[in-house]
Structure 1
Amino acid sequence: MLLAADVGNTNVVFALYAMDGKGGREIKARWRIATDPRRTGDEYAVWLLQLLQIEGFARTDVTQIIIGSVVPRAIHNLTVLAEKYFSITPLIAGEGAAEWGFLIDVDEPRSLGADRALNTIAAHEKYPGDKIVVDFGTATTFDAVDFNGAYKGGIIAPGINLSLDALVGNTAKLPRIAIRSPESDSVMGRNTEDQMLIGVFWGYIAMMEGLIERMRQQIGRPAMVIATGGLAILFDKHTRMFGAVDADLTLDGLAILAERAAR
């Protein structure tokens, strides 16, 4: 089985994949922990090995490990986890046998984040034609992937929680609110909390739809929009922009790279 680790700025997501060697893959379990570059391999092991056991798996069930990270400092300790507790030298996404394997058609190809590269790989394999991948994470990214699987560029915007943090942190009287789906489609709030939610939520929807439409115009061909990340489902209820919501897109990119490396 494959253990995939997707290291984001906020969380590390581990997924245990059953692979059939012919492109078929199924996630059997997944676990999430807060990203902390100081967390040692031993600390990861105490947590992860217990969770494996709870789900009915043994460490010997893991035969391959791949790590994709936008936090370079975290890679060393995850490598220690793989080598010390699983006796496996992990694949590092974008390096060696796990090179990206697609054209990165931008001015600075090496600056493309691992998560966006993995989304590109998975989107091209799973969906036809031109794609726009919207990933709702700490930042929200919009990435154009053409019908040949080449990465053509994109946009980085503050995530909705970062936007809310900036609003609350730089005002004296505005309260902390939770991001949630508004109870109505009205854009005229009757109290401070509702007005804040409307501004952040519907403002974010408007920003997202506007940027996607501009990207489509620049691409010049029909482009399917694929949404991923923790808040994708929340926004999907309030926009018609998404052709698919794929929560496992980044993890699937890791699994595809691992399959290629094994071949």
Structure 2
Amino acid sequence: MSTPNQSRTETPLLSLRHLKKSFGPVHAVNDVSLDIYSGEVIGLVGDNAAGKSTFLSLLTGYNLMDSGEIYYKGRPVTVKSPRSSRQELKIEMIYQNLSLAPDLPIWQNLFLGEEITFAGIFNNRRRMINESQRVVRELNAKANPTDLVGTLSGGEQQLVAIARALLFSRELIIMDEPTAAISVAKIDEVLKLIRHLKAQGKSVLLVSHRLEDILTVADRIVVFAHGKIKQIMENRNISLEDLVHAMFDRTPEEEVKDVH
């Protein structure tokens, strides 16, 4: 059942209430409610076509919900576009392909679309490079702001994507399959970065088919199925087998639906 977390007393960073989105007869997101708190990591899991991608598209403004409510720190907010998601909800989405421009240096990738200018016209190159240097060093990256992104390793490119979230003080970072395209040796570095973000009070919504990663860093795990939240699990002594069962075991409601 899709229910918010009632066990915590502080105001959530984001409160999502009864979100719905249909594409023709398909209910891609069907009455989803969830609270996301500051400084927590939520793992988002589910089979293909479970509704995860559409749910994220509603948060990031790439699709508009048919109905429902979104609250940012208790204040109702309307998400009309990716820009409003970044500015109103303080969300940064880091896609699996990272959406970086390989032929541009790190600093230009970080400020792409949100450049610092002076006199309202000219790009303030020096200030952007200095700000980029600050966040890159904060993440203990060895790269320099003037390095071309295309020359970086997969793990270093992840750092660039995360640096953008820190640069603009995003409060919720959504990471879509962050360890799918990097070597096994670099996976621990990405998980360490997630812990670093949490330590800074950032919230992370982690989507991954690598369930081991979810179990390693998540505080709670949200299981999606058929456009709904099937279960919300506190990550306490959950085994890999437990999580697989939660994802794929059929509920009585699902059994009845298939019979009809």
Say yes or no: TM over 0.5.
no
Higher relative contact order (CA 8 A, sep 6+): 2
Higher helix proportion, which one?
1
